[in-house]
């Protein structure tokens, strides 16, 4: 049985962490397989959006501490922890979360562009309780995605936060009933996958990068990314399809 599964259908790639007996904790095998899998989905023209989830009713409990003690490498040179948190994916990624998203599992979720979570989900960075630090992006991304003092509280106490609180604070896009996270994520993924591939790529890039742009440069930097989209065949096709009251046929060019 593979520690990670990939299924592609209708423009959506579903990546499933498949170590339910360990609450999908990350070991070396998962990290290395994830690294290769992301290369594959990034290169495939039939993939427009990615969904990341976990098997067995839990998203991910973080780094496998047994693997860590045994000296396993749970980071990859190109993509960091789990072969994921430092990846430069141009395609949108949705986290579908049931159960625990803790430590490195929470950092995986923070690395995604969108989050759909079941109301039984738990989030947290408990590294300080283990003599560790949340070095896989949690301390960097959490203050950008939550209010400063909330991020500080979660990081310093190591306590868990429930899905309702995280939804109320804007960390979660959609809150669904227990067992429905994948259905909710696929519904969102289908809405995204119906859109023009070039437009999706440029839109994600602008939103992800704009926070580091100055007021003087932001429109010029945006123009660099969206210019090819506005001049593309798909721009004409989208406008023509709207006028003709039909679904567009995207060519990704």
Please list the active-site residues: 107, 127
Q: What is the CA radius of gyration of the chain?
A: 19
Spatial contact of 198 and 253, defined as CB atoms under 8 Å apart: yes
The span from the CA of 136 to the CA of 103, in Å, is 9
Q: C-alpha angle 113/166/213, rounded to 5°?
A: 40
Q: Which two structure tokens, joined as six digits, stand for 158?
A: 């190591």
Torsion of CA 244, 245, 250, 251, to 10 degrees: -10
In the block, tokens 């003087």 appear at 216
Give the DSSP H or E segment for 12. strand 12-17
Q: Which two structure tokens, joined as six digits, stand for 49?
A: 């959006």
């Amino acid at each position: 049985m593979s520690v990670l599964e990939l299924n592609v259908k209708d423009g959506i790639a579903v990546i499933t962490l498949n170590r339910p007996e360990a609450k999908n904790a990350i070991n070396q095998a998962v990290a290395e397989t994830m690294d290769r899998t992301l290369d594959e989905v990034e290169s495939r023209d039939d993939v427009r959006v990615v969904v990341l989830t976990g098997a067995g009713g839990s998203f991910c409990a973080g780094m496998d501490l047994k693997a860590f003690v045994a000296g396993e490498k749970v980071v990859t040179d190109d993509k960091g922890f789990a072969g994921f948190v430092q990846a430069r994916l141009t395609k949108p990624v949705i986290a579908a979360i049931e159960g625990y998203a803790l430590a490195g599992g929470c950092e995986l979720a923070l690395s995604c562009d969108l989050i759909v979570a079941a109301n039984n989900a738990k989030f947290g960075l408990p590294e300080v309780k283990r003599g560790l630090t949340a070095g896989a992006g949690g301390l960097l991304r959490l203050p950008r995605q939550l209010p400063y003092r909330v991020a500080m509280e979660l990081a310093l106490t190591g306590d868990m936060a429930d899905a309702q609180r995280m939804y109320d604070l804007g960390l979660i896009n959609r809150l669904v009933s227990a067992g429905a996270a994948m259905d909710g994520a696929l519904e969102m993924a289908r809405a995204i996958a119906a859109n023009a591939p070039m437009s999706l790529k440029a839109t994600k890039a602008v939103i992800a990068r704009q926070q580091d742009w100055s007021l003087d440069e932001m429109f010029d930097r945006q123009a660099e990314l969206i210019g090819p989209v506005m001049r593309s065949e798909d721009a004409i096709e989208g406008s023509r399809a709207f006028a003709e009251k039909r679904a567009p046929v995207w060519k990704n060019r």
